[in-house]
Chain A
Amino acid sequence: MPDEIDLLRAFRADTPGPDDAAWERARAALALAEGAAATDPSARPQRPSRIRGFGRPRAARGRVILAAAVVIVVGVAAGVLATVLAPPPSLNAPVTTAWQPARPLPAGPTGVTVPAGTWHLMSYLVPTGWQENTTGPEPGWLTCPTAGTCYVEGDNATSPSGPADMNSLYVSSDGAQTWSVLPVPGGVTFTSALACASATDCAAGGLYYGHQPVYLSTTTGGHSWTMRPLPADVGQIITFACVSATTCRGLASPTGEPASPGFATIFAGMRFFATTDGGRNFTVTSFPKDAAMQSVTCPTDSHCVAIGVYSHFTAADGPDLDHGVLMTSADGGLTWQRHAWPKGYGPGPQPEVTCTDASHCAMIGFVERNGTEGNQVGYTSGKDAVQYTVIGFSADGGQTWTRTSTFPRSMPYPSINALTCPTTTTCYAAGSDLIAQHIGNTYNAGSSVVAVTDNAGRSWQRVTFAVPAKVPGGMQGDSFMDIGQIDCPQANACVAIGVSDQGSPSTPIYTNHG
């Protein structure tokens, strides 16, 4: 029986092959590449160099000019070489940057709302400023320490609203209605989300000039920063949280490199670290060798829960997403006890656990199996064809877990990216589902969803977000298909941001307040 692939194969099947001009154009490009290779020392074997002689004597003045030119060329070349070969700057001691003002960003389009219960589209982050950029920019991490204050780390991108190759920090102090942009210290890229103990006391992991792990902290809401080089045994900070301006705990990676190319969020060799003096000193704890922990939460000074994947996997195949590693600590992460992984789901490609207190925890669980995945408009089948996420809950501090009641039937195959629980019973799970909708004249198989429970997962309510009729110019709509992050510092005070993909010039922001 024909299927959608057969149909697709026939679509545009009459497209002609290359004509003579196309062949000639390609041959010309190859000839150019070949010529470049001939002059590119890295693309050819090194041959012994020889001193080039001049075959004909020249006038004395000419020799002087030639000699001068050679001196200049050699000097310039030496300068260029020195620049190229010079190591990137390093940080040897803490540095505190000067206070920088925030620059307001243009307001988002007005009058665009998404009727979805009490949720609505609040604004577009960087609504008009991005240059066309076909590889991004992807939004950075979202952190909302209070109902009014939110931060979004900006990814590398070129924008007229920021410096070249910008690493910016966006901040809102009115519940995500309007945004300003703050510069981050020169040469710094974030490696973790901001961890905030208050609206203005925040910290983050970073890289200094792309090579040196640093610890960044601010007590001014990002207007000034203190950068401290991280000890080698800490590595690169991937995720952490702060209970005060000086006490923070989280996970760090030795290299910061994903463990497998297809799983950008899985890191090997993760360590637990803690600081109680604002990044001056650290304690570091290793996990068992067979465990690659990916997410940790410490709701109290002593109690911590960590989840991850088994570390025995090849880079090509990726980790086992169906069986995970679960550990708890009762001494603030100094020692860890292993527990049985919950039945019925795995850690998935983006393991995430969160605890509201020492008893109540929740995690994103991942289910995949062979079979047929279908809904009212389509299906697919095969090995691991059925994939969706569930939310697990624990009432004993993460030692044992009960699988949640399933999401509403209207969420047949949810792909949850982020989970936040502002109270012991209220949680918000955000991501996408195979819920078809129209975007302009086209169909779209995905919809952004937020699932809300106020009874620890016994029942859920679904909120979906239709793509607005008027999206900003050039926006592909992809940002409206999936929610990447959500943060709810308190119940009914949430901010969520869409994912950005392949040239979407702005990022939708949703709230259920304001």
Chain B
Amino acid sequence: MDEKLRAGPIGAPPDFEDAFREHFAPVYRFIARRVGTDLAEDLAAEAFATAYRRRVAYDPDRGSLRSWLFGIAANLVREHWRDEQQLLELDARLAPAVDIRSFDDDADDRVVAAALAPRIAGALAGLNAEQRDVLLLHAWAGLSHEEIAAALGIANGTARSRLSRARAALRAGLGDFDFTRWTFKEAGHA
């Protein structure tokens, strides 16, 4: 798709329609993972309405269309920090669905993640907004350092170092999880 969004000014420009079809689902899902599906419907709609209103400001030289749209979404999610925080804290209080001491070698990422969900939610809840934005844009939206920088309007180096710090903080929040053995260093730490 032509990423210039050089649309005719009015009347559902074909380029924007293409952008909407291609990117709405991933942007919606990114928002839903952060604040829940109830809010996601409104926020995703608002993200694309905002993008439409600001489409003349989109500059492909400064970043991909995808990063621009996720940047708008991230900004909207930020305005619902408390909702996101409450959701994470709720998840953090849930008992794990799987006994984390019973992992075997075949346990896939999803099973481990389900068991660790309270820990991950707690760790995410402990991040500040800047760290959470870069981390989730990277992990859930699949943006590179450069795309994150474009999405958030920050320098590449800042995006890189912020992501680096956020990863360290997430690891710290996961406590004694052993990434080499994909289990906890000592059993019984639920």
Contacts and interface: CB of A to CB of B under 8 A. Distances in A.
A150 B122 CA distance: 36
Contacts of A377: 171-172, 175-176
Contacts, number: 236
A373 B168 contact: yes
Contacts of B11: 34
Taking residues whose C-beta sits less than 8 angstroms from the other chain, chain A's interface range is 35 or more
Contacts of B5: none
Contact of A43 (B9, B155, B170, B182): B9
Interface string B121-141: 111011111100001101110
B97 to A, nearest CB: 12
A441 B93 contact: yes
B45 A26 contact: yes
A5 B167 contact: yes
Nearest to A13: B110
Contact of B164 (A44, A321, A380): A380
Contacts of A318: 155-158
Contact of B179 (A1, A383, A387): A1
Given A7-B120, A32-B49, A134-B81, A385 B164 contact: yes
B140 A9 contact: yes
Contacts of A445: 123, 126-127, 168-173
Given A2-B109, A11-B117, A22 B41 contact: yes
A4 B50 CA distance: 33
Contact of B9 (A6, A36, A44): A44
Contacts of A44: 9-10
A434 B166 CA distance: 11
Contacts of B44: 18, 22, 26
Contacts of A55: none
Given A11-B113, A445-B169, A34 B12 contact: yes
Interface in B24-56: 24-25, 28-29, 32-33, 37, 40-42, 44-46, 48-50, 52-53, 56
A346 to B, nearest CB: 12
Given A9-B140, A16-B32, A501 B164 contact: no
Given A26-B20, A33-B52, A384-B160, A439 B126 contact: yes
Contacts of B169: 378, 434, 445-446
A384 B164 contact: yes
Of residues A18, A317, A375, A478, which shows the largest number of chain B Cβ atoms within 10 Å of its Cβ?
A18
Taking residues whose C-beta sits less than 8 angstroms from the other chain, chain B's interface range is 35 or more
B155 A5 contact: no
A25 B158 contact: no
Interface string B93-106: 10000000000000
B180 A1 contact: yes
Contacts of B79: 134-135
A2 B128 CA distance: 24
24 contacts: A2-B109, A10-B114, A11-B117, A13-B113, A16-B37, A22-B44, A25-B42, A26-B20, A26-B28, A26-B45, A30-B52, A32-B49, A38-B10, A316-B156, A321-B157, A373-B164, A377-B171, A385-B164, A442-B123, A445-B169, A445-B170, A446-B128, A502-B78, A502-B129
Smallest CB-CB A-B distances: 8 pairs: A378-B171, A262-B155, A262-B158, A10-B113, A445-B169, A444-B126, A445-B172, A262-B154
Interface of B: 9-12, 20, 24-25, 28-29, 32-33, 37, 40-42, 44-46, 48-50, 52-53, 56, 78-82, 85, 88-89, 92-93, 109-110, 112-114, 116-117, 119-123, 125-130, 135-136, 138-140, 149, 153-161, 164-165, 167-176, 179-180, 182
